[in-house]
Chains A and B, each alone.
Chain A
Amino acid sequence: KAGVTQTPRYLIKTRGQQVTLSCSPISGHRSVSWYQQTPGQGLQFLFEYFSETQRNKGNFPGRFSGRQFSNSRSEMNVSTLELGDSALYLCASSLVPTPNTGELFFGEGSRLTVL
């Protein structure tokens, strides 16, 4: 059974640009969550999607957005990139929304560097 797949794994952007990250959940999983991981702030919750609807959103500015498609694949977008957006962006999937199962299956992440 394939795990959570995130693309691209690495990318470099410059300030002011925008970026789109993709996440394919485990087959059958309908919930997708996104987290930002940085050395200073650690892991922070971005948002969660279930059945194409955003259930929850963390304390991030509106530049951070996401969506989920009918096949449960999800994308997140960051517009007008800032240096502080450099981070590892982790996607996690679960059968149903947290915390009902408690187990999030994480991908390996997309490492974004903003120059």
Chain B
Amino acid sequence: AQSVTQPDIHITVSEGASLELRCNYSYGATPYLFWYVQSPGQGLQLLLKYFSGDTLVQGIKGFEAEFKRSQSSFNLRKPSVHWSDAAEYFCAVGPYSGGGADGLTFGKGTHLIIQP
């Protein structure tokens, strides 16, 4: 079965500093990978996605992520964070086509705190 691990439950970063959120996945084939962001009381918004091709993908709000097949990772990065980036970030993989449930499999999320 597919799975997603986000090792960091909480991360605190100073405003203006760089950010990297980690994501590792387990999947039996070429994965579709996603990063979503959830602000308090809100639904999820797609930041970026990887299907194939260039392993460095650009997203909205200045975010980027790099797919590394050898490390089964899809880490999210931003060169300079803003206070408005404080939110919950979810990595997701999908779909599973080996007989299990489809839909996206999400990690448990990383809570990003921005220090002034």
Contacts and interface: CB of A to CB of B under 8 A. Distances in A.
A43 B51 contact: no
Interface stretch (B11-19, B20-28, B70-78, B96-104): B96-104
Contact of A99 (B32, B46, B107): B32
Q: Which of B46, B103, B107 has the most CB of A within 10 A?
A: B103
Number of chain A interface residues as a range: 20 to 34
B116 interface: no
A56 B49 contact: no
Contact of A98 (B44, B90, B94, B107): B94
A102 B103 contact: no
B103 A45 contact: yes
A102 B105 contact: no
Interface in A50-68: 55-59
Contacts, number: 65
Contacts of A105: 46
Given A99-B94, A99-B95, A106 B44 contact: yes
B102 A48 contact: yes
Interface in B46-61: 46, 49, 51
Given A42-B109, A43-B90, A104 B104 contact: yes
B109 A90 contact: no
Nearest to B94: A99
Interface of A: 4, 33, 35, 42-48, 55-59, 90, 92, 98-99, 102-109
Interface of B: 32, 34, 36, 41-46, 49, 51, 90, 92, 94-95, 101-109
